[in-house]
Amino acid sequence: MACRSPKRFVRCLEYLIVGATLCVQFMPLVAQPSSMPQSPPAAGVLAAVRGEVAIDRPGGARPLAGAVGMRLMPGDGLRVGPGSSATVYLAGGSIVRVPAGSRMEIPEGSPAADKAPPAPVGGISSRSVEVLERGLWVLNDPEGSVLLSGMRGEDDAWDEAGRLASQPLSPRFEIVLDARPRFVWGGTDGPVRVALARGKEILWRSTPTQSSFLRLEENGPKLRAGEAYRWWLEAADGGGPLGEAVPFRVADKEVQGGADRFESEIKALVRGNDDDALAGLLRCGYYVQVGAWSRVLAAAADLQRRDANSPVAARALDGCRRQMRLSEEGVASLAKIGEKQRSPGGQ
């Protein structure tokens, strides 16, 4: 706007001064979100605890009680009491076992790629470490989200509380790492059969069963890597569906191969009771990143049985509930059925 007279010029100048003052006042408010302090990245995770383990955190008023899955920050001091032990997973893939009566200080920063610490016995490949740490850091970020799988945006009409009379529990809204998946359900009072479809084409119907879980038969259809499928329950007498269909996707060959290598590496690490907790923690992190939520649930439920205070187990189970669109009762039921499957005599 042109200011031709002296009075208008003065008025324009006043407006500019006021506007500049307001900009100066509001600029810190606009910049505040990006300049807010971010949570520092974890330097490691307390992977196994037996007995008395305490964490001395710089600036903390008192020591923190160690729990499986606790994030460890640079400079933390880990103290292990008499007759106790701890295992620490450090960024970069190093696993350190801390014996009774010892103290360990968590190093500052992550090791450089060319100066990584020695891998544990059995070894974890660099690719497994990459996937694993992304999942572990998500699970250990109090402000982060554990919803990572691309399946979560599909079939929005499904009731997220998961309260259906005849309820498919697994697989649902997730990646499957088995060419012959195991179908698990709850809420049925009599014999049912499983129906499997790709798109609108029904590929397979099982024989009627009284069980609450059933594996895709050897003579059933061969599921294609990377393809999406749906399954539901039907009445054994040939009636219609007993509930909604739920989707899942078969992992592509690269993801499947990586998971197979990871399982081989984890089994090589397991040497005692402490390592059982370690394996559960590492599986939680790895399969969260992959999006294989039924495997996350199995690992998290086992981890929580070993350490009821584990923050990783609690966050992983909550992620399973939301990602798989299950109620808390549904998660508990799936964990119970999974435990039955793994017990002697289970299918």
Q: Pick from 89, 63, 291, 48: which is nearest to 176 by CA?
A: 291
> Residue 255's pLDDT is what?
96
Q: Residue 35 is encoded by which pair of tokens?
A: 């300049």
pLDDT in tens, 175-228: 999 989 999 998 767 889 999 999 999 999 999 999 888 999 988 999 999 999
In percent, the amount of the chain with pLDDT more than 90 equals 49
Write down the pTM of the prediction: 0.79
H or E stretch covering 87? strand 85-90
* Residue 209 neighbours by CB under 8 Å, 6+ apart: 191, 192, 193, 236
CATH of domain 126-347: 2.60.40.10
What's the CA angle centered on 290, arms 182 and 259, to 5 degrees?
Answer: 70
List the structure tokens of 52. 């008395």
Give residue-wise pLDDT tens across range 101-122.
Answer: 999 999 875 443 333 444 443 4
Q: What would the pLDDT profile of 79-99 be if each residue is shown by its tens digit?
A: 999 999 999 999 988 889 999
269 pLDDT band, cuts 50/70/90, is confident
Task: Determine what percent of the chain falls in helix, strand and coil, rounding each to the nearest 5.
Answer: 35, 20, 40
pLDDT at res. 11: 52
